[in-house]
Amino acid sequence: MTHQSSADKSAASVTSAKFGKKLYQPYIDAKWGLKNHWFPALYSHELADGSFGSTTICGEPILLRREGAAVHAIEDRCAHRGVKISIKPHCFKKGTVTCWYHGFTYNLEDGLLTTILAAPEDPLIGTLRLKTYPVQEKYGIIFLFVGDADYAPVPPLESDLPKPLERDYKYFSPNLTDDNVINLGIRRSGNANWRLAVENGFDPGHTLIHWKSPLIYASNRSVPLGAKPLSDKAIRFFDQEGEPKGVMNMTVPDEDGISHYQPIFENKELGIKAKGNSGPTFVRTSMWLPGVLRVENFPAPGISLYEWYVPTTEDKYDYWEMMTFTVNDEEQRINVIDRYDNYLKQAVFHGFNDDDVWARDAMQPFYQNGVGFDEERLGTMDAVIVAWRKFLSTHARGIQTPPKELGKSRR
C-alpha cells in the first residue's frame, strides 16, 4: 500500500474536495473566452498611419485604423449584409470607413451609419450603429477592451496586466510596464482552445516536453522534470479589489528558505535525469486574467517572458510571445535587440515554445466538445490548474457568448 504524507494530502486536496468541477463551471462554459477585459490586438508596428488592420478576439471580428496618434476599433461586420469590411476597406473621409460592397459608411468614433455611397437619403442613415471598442496603445501593443457595449466603467488597462514586481524583490526581473525597458515579441496562431494554451503555460508538470530543448543544452540551465506542490502555500492568489487578478506558482523559496514546491530532477525507476547543472534559476510563473502568463528570469536572469493566449474561435487562439529587457542607454538597447534578433527569438519562441504549441494542439481533440473536463484525471501536480479554473470562475468580469454566426446575437 502507498501512503501519502500530510504534505501530499494537503496538495491533493486542492485538486479534489476543495475544488469540485461545479465550482469552476463558468470556466468550462468559457469556450469563447472572457468578456469585459483588455486583450492585445496588434503590435504597434503592425498598424501604420492611415492603414487598416484586423483581428478576431473572443469570436468578435474587429477592424482597426490608425489616424495620426489615434487608433480606432470597430466591428468588422457591415450591418447591411454582414460582410467583413476588412476584405477591402475604403476611407473616403477622415474618421470614417466605407464598406466595399454597397458603400455603407460608418463613423469610426461611435460606429454610427453616416451615409450610404449611392443612397445618401436612405432612412437607415443615422439609425444603425456598429459596435466600437475602447483602445489603449501602450508598451508597444494596441489593446482593446472587448465585452458588453454598455459595460461601465471600463477598468484601467493595467488591471488586466500582471501585477508589477517590486524592485526590492531578491530575484527581480523587469516589468513590461517599467519605463526603462524594451518589449520585443511575435504573435502567431495556435490550433487549440485558449484554455488549453493557458493551462500549458504555467503547468509545473509539463517541463518534460522541453527535456531535450536546444535552449536547455545551450544555457546549461538546470530545468527540473516537473515540480511537486508541498502545501497549500505552493499557490499564491492575487485577488485584491481594483488590482490585477492572478495565481502564482511559489517555486522560489521564501526569504526564510522554506520551499513550497519540490523540483523533481530524477526518476530513478525510469533512469531519467533532468538536463543542465547550472544551479537554481529562480524562475517563477504566474497567470493573470484574462489569460496572461509571466515567467520571471526566463530565458535568462534579468529577463521576463510574457505570453497572452487570446481566443479567436472555439478552437484557435492568437499566441503572443514577448520578452522584456531592462535598457539604460542606447548602446545597451542596440545590444539587446541584436541578442534578441540573432539568438533569443529563434531559440525561445521557436526552438523552445514550439514544443508548447504542438502539446496544446495534441490536447485539443480530447477537449473539443467538453468531454475532456469530465474524463480528465488530475493529480497533485495539477493543483494550480484546478486553482486557476476556480479563481477565474470567481473573478472574471464575464463569460463570452458564441458569435452571431452561431445563432447568438450580442447586441
194-207, pLDDT tens digit by residue?
999 999 999 998 88
Give 28-32 contacts, CB < 8 A, sequence gap 24+.
Answer: 28/370, 28/373, 29/399, 30/195, 30/392, 30/396, 30/399, 30/400, 31/193, 31/195, 31/314, 31/370, 31/402, 32/58, 32/59, 32/311, 32/313, 32/314, 32/400, 32/401, 32/402, 32/403
Q: Which three cell numbers stand for residue 142?
A: 494596441
Q: Which three cell numbers stand for residue 252?
A: 522560489
CB 9 within 8 Å of CB 106:
no
Q: Is the pLDDT of residue 186 over 90?
A: yes
pTM: 0.92
CA–CA gap between residue 245 and residue 286 (Å, rounded)? 10
Q: How many residues does the chain have?
A: 411
* DSSP H/E element including 284: strand 284-288
CA–CA gap between residue 32 and residue 10 (Å, rounded)? 33
pLDDT, one tens digit per residue, over 246-260 is 999 998 888 888 888
3-state secondary structure of 11: helix
* Cα maximum dimension of the chain: 83
Q: Which three cell numbers stand for residue 299?
A: 530565458
pLDDT, one tens digit per residue, over 48-96 is 999 999 999 999 999 999 999 999 999 999 999 999 999 999 999 999 9
Positive/negative CA dihedral, 168, 320, 369, 33: positive
CA–CA gap between residue 345 and residue 359 (Å, rounded)? 20
Q: Is the pLDDT of residue 18 over 50?
A: no
Q: How confident is the model at residue 9 (pLDDT cuts 50, 70, 90)?
A: very low
Question: Comparing 381 with 317, which gets the higher pLDDT?
Answer: 317
Q: How confident is the model at residue 349 (pLDDT cuts 50, 70, 90)?
A: very high
Evaluate whether the domain defined by 39-136 bears CATH number 3.30.750.24.
Answer: no
Evaluate whether the domain defined by 6-34+155-402 bears CATH number 3.90.380.10.
Answer: yes
Q: How confident is the model at residue 280 (pLDDT cuts 50, 70, 90)?
A: low
pLDDT, one tens digit per residue, over 143-177 is 999 999 999 999 999 999 999 999 999 999 999 99
Structure letter (DSSP) for residue 271: T
What residues does each domain of the chain span?
6-34+155-402, 39-136
Q: Is the pLDDT of residue 141 over 60?
A: yes
